[in-house]
Structure 1
Amino acid sequence: MIRMRELRKDFTVRVKAGRLRRTKRTVSAVDGIDLTIEPGEMVGYIGPNGAGKSTTLKMLTGVLAPSSGEVSVFGLTPVPQRTRLALRIGVVFGQRSQLWWDLPLGESFRLLRHIYRVPPAEHETRLRRCRDLLDLDEFLDTPVRQLSLGQRMRGELTAALLHGPRVLFLDEPTIGLDVVSKQAVRSFLAELGASGDVTLVLTTHDLADIERLCDRLVVIDHGRVVHDGSIEALHARYGSRRSLVVDLDEPLPPDFALPGATVTGSAADGHRVTFALDGTSAGTAVAGLVAVASVRDLSVVEPDIEDVVARLYQAG
């Protein structure tokens, strides 16, 4: 579906070299990316600010031409074949709009049907599905400029899908949204991805989006891929561990040791202890505790992906 080989994008910038002089310097926003994305995959594409995420998406959608390397989507080269490609992809940039600000939302959808030459029956079927899943009916007749950010983003997603794209590129789709709007957008995208009809490529700084939606995680830094695999593989690579938090009736003996677990925290009175599970399951750890202590309550805490990714960025 998507193929990148030694993909590069260089920009020339002017930097200060004295009081009055400036010199040119070449900056590589994307520095030799090799990546293949198969049909139906849901891929999270993340990295720190300036890592090259948006630049990559712009090359995949034909907005920017690569400096070198190869890129293809559906076997098409994005820049010279941009018109043909546009009929097969949907794009949502969180801070850009493809809707007409002075028109009601429903009129924007009708205009898009004519632009993409979608048969009326197909358009109506897709629009009805989006109306049901994204609750669009209450503001279809409202001019776009009067919509809240959450309402507009639901409209942007609908607009990107009305022509039946096979690939959906999303750049920060939940940026600035409130909790309710984020939940609506995530639920919609999860159902869309579960159908297997659309390949999803998502860039975001909100890692809850990645955990909810994506089976595969690609992390880039300084324009290069530093991780490509599952979220579980990322946790394993960077030593993330589940935690077991236990509330006890009485403190544990001073010499107590739980095989496969390490104490990482303890309340002053010793009644709450946190264990990092290094090489054992939560069930085995709980069984070992119950055998020697009176357990009042317990919880298993999954590793925080934000902490893992932060450590990855800091590792450089």
Structure 2
Amino acid sequence: MVKTQDVRNQMPGGNSKRNVSQIKNIARHHSATTAGTAQSFADYHVNHHGWGTSGYHEVILRDGTVQIAYDDNVVTNGVGGHNTPTYHICVVGSGSFTDKQEEAFEERARDAMSRFGLSASDVLGHNEFSNTGGYSHSSNACPGINMNTVRGWLGDPSPKQKVKSSTTTWYLSSGDRGSEVKDMQQDLINLGYDLGSYGADGVYGNDTKKAVTQYQRDNNLQVDGIYGVESRGAMSSARSVGSSSNLPNETYWVKSPIFNGSGVRAVQEALASIYFYPEKGAKNNGVDGWYGNKTADAVRRYQSTKSNLVTDGDYGPKTKAELEKDI
């Protein structure tokens, strides 16, 4: 069960009433802000728009807390021309939402569906209503998520929903959420890409799309911000490279003179497999078979994490022994 706050006694208006049997839709909104509460939105709606009642029956905060703002039988002002038959839920954010918010929305939407006798197909995004008016951010951006995906979570998949069981059609893109997104986000973070303040939250928002786009540019992939088969293959190689490598038995290598060959590549691949890249973002992340300054720096960074190793950038028997434990 999600955490709820009853703030109904703090909300303005609420005088326009309906019979709950009139409710035919549940509308999902986003606030187009990075923060806010039911109270602050109500203040904006009343003082800026001059409405007597705020736009939302429920507001889901960034931590997943649900604020109950109005009774079911109150007509709020979420979508102009559609308010009498609609129950409005707002998720705080602008195209990027936390896992806890999505869990809360799913629970609250299912609860509302049960109360009003609705199905997932009756859950619409703000921009899916005809002639959308109401709140000033009513545009193609609201609710900031693919509603076909949302309806899929709620148990009524659209024919347009992505098929992820096939390696030829699998992809992740804006609006997706879940463990696959979170794993991909963590890989990007480990590679040094910035995912903003929410990090690996399991939600494919704007920051994730930017990071994927940059990753694609850095690795000479198709640049579209969609994490598809090609991008996943490149990421999988970067993640797993070296995991089965046999490390060389040389007593030690130093950066001068520069060593090269399959043994060096095996060390580089082993380091890369645990995210100590010779040159992250470069072609193959610097795995080139040459034990130069950048490889020595990767070894040095790895050694600095081990209290029993000297941080000198040299690959020796002690470094090899520790590395074998970690890959």
For Structure 1 versus Structure 2, the TM-score category normalised by the shorter chain is under 0.3
Structure with the higher strand share, 1 or 2: 1
| TM-score, length basis structure 2 | 0.27
Query: Could you say which structure has the greater relative contact order, defined with CA pairs below 8 angstroms and 6 or more residues apart?
Result: 1
